[in-house]
Chains A and B, each alone.
Chain A
């Protein structure tokens, strides 16, 4: 199993604040890694760093074979980031937004159509402007945007937020399908119960560092066991 994410003592500064203060992280192909930890621990910054959106100031950082310290842009077409904001254009319809996302990632418009179908957006919502959608529908469209890009690495920040029960189940199914198709997933979530069901490994992030990891099946409240990467 090859490494999809490899960070060694990676440091990232937001202004003078070390949002990542020496992260060591290995994520293998096909893993679903859950990042948990308190607010401000650095989970979102770590996901954004994996997407090449945050500069790595020191240490080593490689994602999908791209050295992020040399070239952060190269990896972007191969990852999909679902952040707190939707990243959608309010004045464009659901279809317009998804077609733009798919074509920008180098896929045909059909990728957007299948994403709309999968997310239940192919009916009357298809031609509705994103600015007129409810929060839940907007979240579904943002997820569809990630699906349409067919990324090799899914980076999900609080992915269940704003979704109803059916939407949450659908998201879990999408993650499982993506992994079955060979993708790797790193997600950050405070919803431990649901996210634990998805994850093959859980990592605690605190103070801008990954401080421990548990393999699925380990006792959540037991002594921290450093996760071993299966090479």
Chain B
């Protein structure tokens, strides 16, 4: 399973590296959303600072939908999905590989967005370790659940429009918990981050375990 996961993750990341869709489209999209929020809330810099964590994670979620769609779009080219099924790779391995590739892309995106938030929204970092932990847990949860719902939508003609409808409501707890915990890390709003961190960990664990078990059968039906 781990060998297969590594193989799929390397393949997906290599596709992204060569196609440059992530760097040329997803990252600029995310930065653009961040800038538009800044324009919209600029009259009151206080609101912008207090809402920084929420705006950051909303931007990450929108970008995650693009990354997840992309992860399955590359399998739709010239029947590559059949090829993937025929490869004999373990379903759990494919799930872990795809989720790892998306998670890595999102973590790099979050690093860029974090700089953007500091520069554009005029916030300072209070607890860097906590923010890194929140980003790791939230990203694993987003990637794992996204890949599960991505394969559900993949075989449908309306997959591009269906995926956001499936994924975004599911990710509401991640948005809430990541925002609250990030507010504590940025010290924009006082509060205890650890209950939210625990929620993120539980969410990530549930969807990772579910994906490992269910991805293979779901891929068969896609």
Contact = CB atoms under 8 A, between A and B. Distances in A.
30 contacts: A52-B86, A53-B82, A53-B85, A72-B220, A73-B88, A73-B220, A76-B86, A76-B88, A77-B87, A77-B88, A78-B88, A79-B86, A81-B82, A86-B78, A86-B79, A87-B80, A88-B77, A88-B78, A90-B78, A91-B18, A92-B14, A93-B18, A96-B11, A96-B18, A100-B7, A104-B7, A104-B88, A104-B89, A106-B88, A145-B83
A162 interface: no
Contact of A89 (B15, B82, B91, B220): B15
Interface of A: 51-53, 72-73, 76-79, 81, 83, 85-93, 96, 100-101, 103-106, 129, 145
A172 B4 CA distance: 33
B19 interface: yes
Contacts of A76: 85-88
A100 B3 CA distance: 12
B23 to A, nearest CB: 13
B94 to A, nearest CB: 10
A192 B11 CA distance: 38
Given A53-B85, A79-B86, A101-B87, A92 B11 contact: yes
Nearest to B89: A104
A82 to B, nearest CB: 11
A79 B85 CA distance: 12
Q: What DSSP secondary structure best describes chain B's contact surface? A: helix
B18 A51 contact: no
A88 B83 contact: yes
B173 interface: no
Report which residue of A73, A83, A105 has the largest number of chain B beta carbons within 10 angstroms of its beta carbon: A73
Interface of B: 4, 7, 11, 14-15, 18-19, 74, 77-80, 82-83, 85-89, 91, 216, 220
B56 to A, nearest CB: 30
A89 B73 CA distance: 11
A200 to B, nearest CB: 25
A198 B61 CA distance: 55
A87 B82 contact: yes
Nearest to B216: A73
B208 to A, nearest CB: 21
Report which residue of A81, A85, A91, A106 has the largest number of chain B beta carbons within 10 angstroms of its beta carbon: A91
Nearest to B21: A91
B10 to A, nearest CB: 8
A93 B11 CA distance: 11
B50 to A, nearest CB: 42
Given A76-B87, A85-B79, 8 more contacts: A79-B86, A81-B82, A87-B79, A89-B15, A96-B14, A100-B11, A104-B4, A106-B88
Nearest to B88: A77
B78 A103 contact: no
B85 A83 contact: no
Contact of B86 (A53, A88, A90, A92): A53
Report which residue of B7, B77, B88, B220 has the largest number of chain A beta carbons within 10 angstroms of its beta carbon: B88
Report which residue of B7, B15, B18, B86 has the largest number of chain A beta carbons within 10 angstroms of its beta carbon: B86
A144 B26 CA distance: 34
A105 B87 contact: yes
Contacts of B87: 76-77, 101, 104-105
A97 B182 CA distance: 41
A81 B79 CA distance: 12
A91 B77 CA distance: 10
Contacts of B77: 88-90
A86 B86 CA distance: 13
